[in-house]
Amino acid sequence: MPARLIESLAITEPLADVFSDSSVLQALLDFEVALARAEARVGIVPRSAADRISEAARASEFDIAALSRSIFRAGTAAIPVVKALTEKVRARDRDAAAWVHWGATSQDVVDTALMLLLKRARPIIAADLQLLQKALIRLSNEHKDTVMLGRTLMQAAPPVTFGLKAAGWLGALHRDRKGLEKAFDQALVLQFGGASGTLASLGDKGIAVAHALAEELGLSYPEAPWHTQRDRLANLVCCCGVLTGSLGKMARDISLLMQTEVSEVSEPCGEGRGGSSTMPHKRNPIGCALTLAAAQRVPGLVANFLSGMVQEHERGIGGWQSEWQIVAGIIQAAGTAATSMAEAAEGLSVDPARMRYNIEATNGLIFAERAMMLLAAELGRDVAHELLEDATRKSIAQKKRLSEVLPELPEVSSRVDRSVLAQLEVAEQYLGSAETFRKALVDSSTLQKSES
């Protein structure tokens, strides 16, 4: 199902389908079907009644617009849906209609339906994250020796490798994926407690029904109902927030590297992607834009969810009712960021020559730290730092390379051999432990991949 126009920049088609009206309604109905089947297994509901409920619970046969109006008045989706389902069952079998929603409460339906939607969304996001991980591993390995400017506070700094930069993105993704998987495992649990969370209406068969219901729906069975204990779900939305932030960091880096003045990488282009309505020459960072937009939305949504956790006694008022839109928005944002960055990384063009050009354009100033460390052993750090400040000012003023200015300083020429100064600006000789760090990040991610 395509997204609505107003959501077009905030959701992918697969997730639009998961959170479509028909999908949400079907999740609510699926709870009622599974409940009837579970109670039939335990011997509470006649098997024939469970069959009639199952036959009637097809979202395509319901008036969603009418349900939406009724839900607004009822304050919960469960009451109008249960009422409409009961009428459809009654049309098939009057006796079977009496068994619809037996022993459940409204929040059981709504919370479990949300779990079913999240269960569907999980593999969609996971697939995009897997594609992104593979692309980043490839980029890092291919460019382990591709030197580029390091940049600190948006200014040129000593060199790094693009392989290390990609591995940095990969490392965050690796950690966030592990956290998200664990959060999904903990969150995807059945909600079934009845009116006050005790299943009193089902007597001594309540626990048996709950176990059978969890099995029917493919959800984990919790220690107890969690009507006003929202910590599992809160942990999931927080993990989505962290993931989206990490993807946003990657998007920020790529978009900055795509600036005309930098031009070191570029997103893939294609029909209808990356162009401008007025400037035909442009190749815009569309994937980055969508990801950064998602990363801007999510923190507020996560904060909204956390503020709604303070819920009253055995059934909350207001906080719980706010959650569906918040959780859906967070999942959709995380999914949009994941698919956007996967596409960007898979088709990312890297320009090593431009990276080298940008290093050369600094006239060697990025190696001032290296020169200072050479002199510090002879002159002390403070004196060496002062000398290099003077040398860099002359380099800028005279538009000369740092390696040309330094030999003109007596304090330098008397203590550092010219052959050493001649090698000062060889970027490959000032990468420190970059490759060790890069390899550690890639190896860690690859290990997780093989274990999964």
Dump the DSSP string for 103-155: T--HHHHHHHHHHHHHHHHHHHHHHHHHHHHHHHHHHHHHTTT-EEEEEETTE
| Domain co-membership, 183 together with 230 | yes
User: CA-CA distance, 159 to 148, in Å (whole number)?
Assistant: 6
Query: Is 108:191 a contact under the CB 8 Å cutoff?
Result: yes
Whether residue 252 is contained in a domain is answered as yes
- Quote the number of domains for the chain: 3
Across-strand partners of 242? none
Whether residue 194 is contained in a domain is answered as no
End-to-end CA distance of the chain: 30
Instruction: Look up the domain containing 4 and give its range.
Output: 1-104+201-215
Domain of 244: which CATH number?
Answer: 1.20.200.10
Whether residue 437 is contained in a domain is answered as yes
Whether residue 209 is contained in a domain is answered as yes
Whether residue 49 is contained in a domain is answered as yes
| Domain co-membership, 121 together with 248 | yes
Burial of 325-353, coded b for 16+ CB within 10 Å and e otherwise, reads ebbbbbbbbbbbbbbbbbbbbeebebbee
Whether residue 221 is contained in a domain is answered as no
> CA-CA-CA-CA torsion for 403, 407, 412, 416, nearest 10 degrees?
80
| Domain co-membership, 291 together with 438 | yes
Is 175 annotated in the active site? no
| Domain co-membership, 323 together with 445 | yes
| Domain co-membership, 327 together with 207 | no
| Domain co-membership, 266 together with 413 | no
Q: Give the per-residue pLDDT at 27.
A: 98
Domain of 385: which CATH number?
Answer: 1.10.40.30
| Domain co-membership, 332 together with 234 | yes
Domain of 207: which CATH number?
Answer: 1.10.275.10
| Domain co-membership, 304 together with 180 | yes
Q: Is 283 helix (H, G, I), strand (E, B) or coil?
A: coil
Three-state DSSP string of 398-446: HCCCHHHHHHHCHHHHCCCCHHHHHCCCCHHHHCCCHHHHHHHHHHHHH
| Domain co-membership, 88 together with 109 | no
Helix (H) or strand (E) holding 215: helix 206-217
Residue of 265, 280, 30 whose CA lies nearest to 166: 265
Is 315 annotated in the active site? yes
| Domain co-membership, 98 together with 110 | no
| Domain co-membership, 93 together with 119 | no
Quote the radius of gyration of the chain (alpha carbons, Å).
30
User: CA-CA distance, 180 to 176, in Å (whole number)?
Assistant: 6
Whether residue 56 is contained in a domain is answered as yes
Tokens of residue 98, six digits? 């009496």
Residue of 86, 83, 76, 63 whose CA lies nearest to 108: 76
**Alpha carbon separation from 153 to 150, 156, 157 (Å, rounded):** 10, 9, 9
| Domain co-membership, 70 together with 42 | yes
pLDDT along the chain (452 residues), means of 10: 77 95 98 98 97 98 96 94 98 97 97 98 98 98 98 97 98 98 98 97 97 98 97 98 98 97 91 52 84 98 97 94 96 98 97 98 95 87 90 93 90 83 93 98 78 46
Selecting among 276, 413, 433, 452, the annotated active-site residue is 276
What is the model's pTM? 0.93
Q: Give the per-residue pLDDT at 1.
A: 58
Q: Give the per-residue pLDDT at 410.
A: 87
Whether residue 196 is contained in a domain is answered as no
Selecting among 151, 252, 283, 315, the annotated active-site residue is 315
